[in-house]
């Protein structure tokens, strides 16, 4: 594991007793606060014994299994035999719990048969009627989900967060993508999306308002002379935020390729901790899920986050006439301890200007 990781949860074994493993073949998965890591076999041989159990917290150096090079003394366990071992203890405990609950009531009635049983209390109209426990499921949180929850709550407790909004006419950016998407794909081997346009607009905005790319450290302000854009990606296991390094030195094709690579790694669980470390500014695109408007939470230790939303056709006044336009709401949540409303509004205006007229990037105006 990396130096920043002190422990993890043994998510599951990929191999069982009696299974043959080769050198560097994954035999288990460890779930950490940020990523899921495969545990590779240090030797070729046969799994003799599983020492640790799934769900246990393990530290670097913990023995989790024993591998026999010769295969002697290994009792092969068929898959059908593994299931009852883990599943068998659960039903008795559940049945016992159900049996134990009504017993005290039965004994109480039998000990005092002469005492009249009190009438059942009448329910008032305001008394809540809770559903039975049998209709609820308790599932432990994953380490990634717990880590995200802790970071977001720390963000709320630390930053003086304020959100400002604007709206963007997407006509020209969508027209640009429509006209050049085929030529772009043919030359660069990747599709031209809207995210690269917003990344380039964010780079321009951060260069115009460097305070948004800065961060508070004690009584000092650290100005970053680099722009690393974090892209929030939702996965089945939770939210991860891979980083596009030196986004200010990339063109549209470089950004699209990097986004596709990082998103693919995030979804299949192969993204590394180094690829999520750092970042000076975050972009979160809730519009892909249909979000119309939201107030994103800052990704610490950054000072601001840009929220993108869904594109909706709305009537707009253009040249004195009411015409339908594809519009998007954008939101900037920022740390008001460091960033004033003036800088935040100017930053969003720069995003709006660049997205509505991408030719500004070519002329640097």
- Which residues are designated catalytic? 336, 340
What does the alpha-carbon distance between residue 324 and residue 341 come to, in Å, rounded to a whole number? 31
Structure tokens belonging to residue 276: 């999520």
Q: In DSSP terms, which residues pair with 304 in a beta bridge?
A: 334
Structure tokens belonging to residue 78: 């068929």
Query: DSSP characters for 241-303?
Result: --EETTGGG--HHHHHHHHHHHHHHHHHT---STTTS--SEEEEEGGGGT-----PPP-TT-S
- 3 state SS of 58: strand
What does the alpha-carbon distance between residue 115 and residue 265 come to, in Å, rounded to a whole number? 69
What does the alpha-carbon distance between residue 312 and residue 90 come to, in Å, rounded to a whole number? 50
Q: How many residues does the chain have?
A: 365
- Which DSSP state fits 69? S
Tell me if 331 sits within 8 A of 295, measured CB to CB.
yes
- Helices 171-188 & 252-268, crossing angle to 10 degrees? 80
Strand-strand pairing, 229-231 and 281-285: parallel
- 3 state SS of 175: helix
Helices (H), 159-269: 171-188, 195-208, 252-268
């Amino acid at each position: 594991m990396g130096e920043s990781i002190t422990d993890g949860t043994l998510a599951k074994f990929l191999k069982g007793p009696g299974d043959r493993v080769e050198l560097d073949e994954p035999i288990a998965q460890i779930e950490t606060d940020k990523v899921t890591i495969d545990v590779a076999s240090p030797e070729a041989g046969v799994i003799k014994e599983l020492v640790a159990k799934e769900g246990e917290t393990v530290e670097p150096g913990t023995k989790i299994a024993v591998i026999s090079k010769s295969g002697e003394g290994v009792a092969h366990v068929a898959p059908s035999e593994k299931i009852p071992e883990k599943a068998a203890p659960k039903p008795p405990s559940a049945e016992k719990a159900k049996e134990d609950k009504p017993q005290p009531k039965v004994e109480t009635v039998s000990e005092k048969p002469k005492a009249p049983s009190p009438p059942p209390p009448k329910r008032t109209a305001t008394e809540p009627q809770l559903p039975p426990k049998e209709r609820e499921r308790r599932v432990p949180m994953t380490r990634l989900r717990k880590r995200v929850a802790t970071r977001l709550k720390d963000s709320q407790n630390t930053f003086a967060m304020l959100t400002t909004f604007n709206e963007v006419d997407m006509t020209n950016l969508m027209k640009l993508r429509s006209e050049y998407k085929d030529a772009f794909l043919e030359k660069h081997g990747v599709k031209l999306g809207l995210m690269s346009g917003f990344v380039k607009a964010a780079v321009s905005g951060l260069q115009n308002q460097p305070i948004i790319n800065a961060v508070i450290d004690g009584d000092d302000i650290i100005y970053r002379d680099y722009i690393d854009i974090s892209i929030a990606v939702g996965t089945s296991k939770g939210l991860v935020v891979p980083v596009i390094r030196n986004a200010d030195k990339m063109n549209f094709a470089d950004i699209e390729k990097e986004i596709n690579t990082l998103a693919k790694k995030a979804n299949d669980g192969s993204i590394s901790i180094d690829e999520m470390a750092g970042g000076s500014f975050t972009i979160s695109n809730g519009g892909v899920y249909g979000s119309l408007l939201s107030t994103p939470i800052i990704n610490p230790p950054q000072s601001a986050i840009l929220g993108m939303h869904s594109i909706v056709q709305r009537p707009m006044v253009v040249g004195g006439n009411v015409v339908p336009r594809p519009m998007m709401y954008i939101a900037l949540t920022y740390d008001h301890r460091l960033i004033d409303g003036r800088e935040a509004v100017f930053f969003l205006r720069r995003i709006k200007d660049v997205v509505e007229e991408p030719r500004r990037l070519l002329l640097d105006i």
